Amino acid sequence: MLTDDILFLPVRELGSHLRKRAFSPVELTESYLERSQRIGPKFNAYVTITRDLALQQAHLAEREIAAGHHRGPLHGIPYAVKDLVAVQGYPTTWGAQPYAQQTFDFNATVIERLNAAGAILIGKAAMIELAGGLGYQNGAASLTGPCKNPWNTDYWTCGSSSGSGAIVSAGLAPWAIGSDTRGSIVCPAAWCGISGMRPSFGRVSRYGAMAIAWTMDKLGPMARTADDCGLVLSVIAGYDPKDHDSLFENLSFHYPAPEPGPRKPLRIGRLTNVWNKVDPELQSAVDAGLHTLQQKGAHVEDVELPDGPYEEVAELTILMEAASSFQDLIHSGKCAGLADRLGQVNGYASEQFSASDYLQTQRVRTILQRQVDKLFDSYDVLATAGQSSAAQLLVRPPRSTPPDEQRPREQMENRAPDGVSSLCGLPALTVPCGFSSKNLPFGLQFIARAGNDHNVIAAGRLYQSLTEWHRKHPPSL
C-alpha cells in the first residue's frame, strides 16, 4: 500500500507521479480503497464503496497509461461522489431512508464525463438526507448517521456534502463531487480544512442528480487545492442539453484560462457586513490571509453588500421548490421515514405557499441579483470567511432533545454569504486559512461574478502559492 504522504497529495501531483510510473492507478486505487474501508466507518463517510467498479476502471487506466494513452488530468485518479448522483448498478440513496433501495439504470452526466476522462470512482459519499431539501436540524439527519469531522470526531463536518468533505479531509480520496444549493459545498469544505468550489449556476450539468431547488442546485468539486478544483471543473463542466439550465457552449470553462493580456493585480472586496457574528479567531485568520495577498500586490478594500432580504429569498425559494420536487414523498406520507424531526413535517408547511408567494420571491430575487452584480464592476472577487466559525459540536439526535430547545433553521441562519451567492448563481471557493485554538480548520472564501469561475480559482491559487494551510491534514491520520 502507498504511504499516507502520497495519499494526501493533490490531484496534479498524483497525476504527475502516475505519468512517470512512480506508482500505478491500481496501486493508488487499492490504497485508497483499503484506507476507505479501514478508516471511513470512523467518520460515517461513505454510503457505498464501489470496489468492483473502481478496480475495473483502475485496471483499464493502467493499461492505457502503460500504452502511452493519457486521457487528461484525472486519468487514473480516484474520487468519491455524493450519493445524490446516479451511478448505474449501485444504489443512489439521496442519504434518506425512503430511498435506501433506489437505483437508476443510467449514469448522471458528471459520471459519464468522469468515465470518459478515466477517473476512478471508489465510492458514494454520505450526505444529509435529501441534501437538506426538506430541512434538518443537525448532522444526525442522514441515512448513515452523523458524519464526523476528521479533525476531531466530536465535531460535525457540516452539510449537506458531509461525506465528501470527510473523505477528502481524511485522505480517503484526493477529491470528491459535492452539491451546493445554499452552502453545501462551501461549509463542509471550510469545516473539514479542504478546498471546495461551487461553480456558477449552470456550469456543471445536474442531469442524473437529485433536485432540491432547480433554480439553485449546483454540483462542484471538493479537493485539496484550488488548482485541483480547476482541474476537476475542467472535466465536469460543459453544456448539456439534458440540463435545462446548462450554460451554453460559448461560455465554456477552460482550465487554465488563456491570459488575455498583462496580468493585473487582483481586486478584492473584503465583505464587512455578511455575518451576524464571526469568531474573532477566524476573522483574524481571514484578515491575515487577505494581508498576505495584499503584500503580493492584490488590492484589498472593505465593501458592504447592499441591503436586502437575501436569506429570506434564498430560504423561501428552496422551501417552495423542494415542496414540488419532493411532492411524491410529501403526499405519500413517506417523509415520516426521514431521520430528522423537521424534515418529517416541513414539506406540509411548504406546500401551503401560494403561486403568488413564489413569483413575488422570484421577482425580488431578480433585483437582488442585479444589485449584487454591480459590486463586481469594482472587484474581481469578494472575500469573507468560509463560515462564521470553525466546526461545531455534533449535537444530540433530535428525538433526545427537548422540543423547546430546537430551532428549525438554526443551522442556516448564519450563512449569509451562502444565501447571497447561491441565490445569484455566483461561483465561490473556500480554501483553508488557519486553525482555531481547538485545532479546527478555518476557511477563507472568495466569490466572483456569475460566469467568472476563473477568478475564484485564481484567488485561491494565489493564496495557496503563498501559504501552506492546504498541506495540513488531521494529525491522527
Partner 1 sequence: MSESNGSTRRAKFSRRSFGKQAVAAAVTAGASRSAGAAETTPETQEIDARMANILRLYGDRLSDDQRKLLRRVLTENERMLARVRTFSLENADPPASVLKLFPAAERPQPARPAARRK
Interface mask toward partner 1 for 438-477; x: CB under 8 A: ------------xx--------------------------
| Least gap, CB of 69 to partner 1 (angstroms) | 27
Helix (H) or strand (E) holding 81: strand 78-82
| Least gap, CB of 207 to partner 1 (angstroms) | 16
For residues 116 and 63, give the distance between their C-alpha atoms in angstroms, rounded to a whole number: 15
Among 359, 438, 465, 466, binds partner 1 (CB under 8 A): 359
Alpha helices in 180-309 (DSSP H): 186-192, 226-236, 280-295
| Least gap, CB of 333 to partner 1 (angstroms) | 6
353 binds partner 1 (CB under 8 A): yes
- Residues in binding contact with partner 1, number by CB under 8 A: 53
Chain centroid to CA 136: how far?
18
* List of residues 6+ apart from 252 with CB closer than 8 A: 237, 238, 239
Interface mask toward partner 1 for 129-158; x: CB under 8 A: ------------------------------
What's at 209, amino acid-wise?
A: A
| Closest among 295, 278, 461, 273 to 382, alpha carbons compared | 273
Among 29, 153, 200, 388, binds partner 1 (CB under 8 A): 200
Q: Which is nearer to partner 1, 289 or 425 (CB)?
A: 425
User: Looking only at residues 203 through 222 of this chain, which bind partner 1 when binding is defined by CB under 8 A?
Assistant: 215-216
| Least gap, CB of 314 to partner 1 (angstroms) | 10
Helix (H) or strand (E) holding 218: strand 218-223
Q: Which is nearer to partner 1, 392 or 406 (CB)?
A: 406
| Least gap, CB of 195 to partner 1 (angstroms) | 23
The count of other CB atoms within 10 Å of the CB of residue 6 is 18
- SS3 string, 329-352, reads HHHHCHHHHCCCHHHHHHHHHHCC
Among 249, 259, 302, 377, binds partner 1 (CB under 8 A): 249
Interface mask toward partner 1 for 400-429; x: CB under 8 A: ---x--x-xx---------------x----
For residues 224 and 250, give the distance between their C-alpha atoms in angstroms, rounded to a whole number: 29
Among 3, 352, 400, 437, binds partner 1 (CB under 8 A): 352
| Least gap, CB of 408 to partner 1 (angstroms) | 6
53 binds partner 1 (CB under 8 A): no
Q: Which is nearer to partner 1, 241 or 280 (CB)?
A: 241
* List of residues 6+ apart from 11 with CB closer than 8 A: 73, 74, 77, 174, 175, 223, 224, 225, 228, 231, 232
Among 348, 375, 397, 401, binds partner 1 (CB under 8 A): 348
Strands 46-49 and 120-125: antiparallel
For residues 237 and 74, give the distance between their C-alpha atoms in angstroms, rounded to a whole number: 14
Helices 355-375 and 310-325: angle between axes, nearest 10 degrees: 130
Q: In 3-state terms, what secondary structure has residue 184?
A: coil
For residues 177 and 76, give the distance between their C-alpha atoms in angstroms, rounded to a whole number: 16
Among 56, 369, 392, 436, binds partner 1 (CB under 8 A): 369
| Least gap, CB of 79 to partner 1 (angstroms) | 27
The count of other CB atoms within 10 Å of the CB of residue 102 is 14
Candidates 30-38, 61-69, 363-371, 385-393; binding stretch for partner 1 (CB under 8 A): 363-371
**Active site members:** 82, 160, 184
| Closest among 235, 248, 256, 203 to 116, alpha carbons compared | 235
Burial (CB count within 10 angstroms: exposed 0-12, middle 13-18, buried 19+), residue 72 = middle
324 binds partner 1 (CB under 8 A): no
Q: Which is nearer to partner 1, 250 or 295 (CB)?
A: 250
Interface mask toward partner 1 for 226-245; x: CB under 8 A: ------------------xx
Among 365, 415, 461, 473, binds partner 1 (CB under 8 A): 365
First to last CA, the chain: 15
Helix (H) or strand (E) holding 155: strand 152-156
Q: Which is nearer to partner 1, 150 or 183 (CB)?
A: 183
Enumerate helices (H) and strands (E) in the chain, giving the number of each.
15, 13
Candidates 69-77, 271-279, 291-299, 307-315; binding stretch for partner 1 (CB under 8 A): 307-315
Summarize as ranges the residues that interact with partner 1 (CB under 8 A): 200-202, 215-216, 244-245, 247-251, 307-309, 312-313, 315-316, 319, 333, 336, 341-342, 344-346, 348-353, 357, 359-367, 369-370, 373, 403, 406, 408-409, 425, 450-451
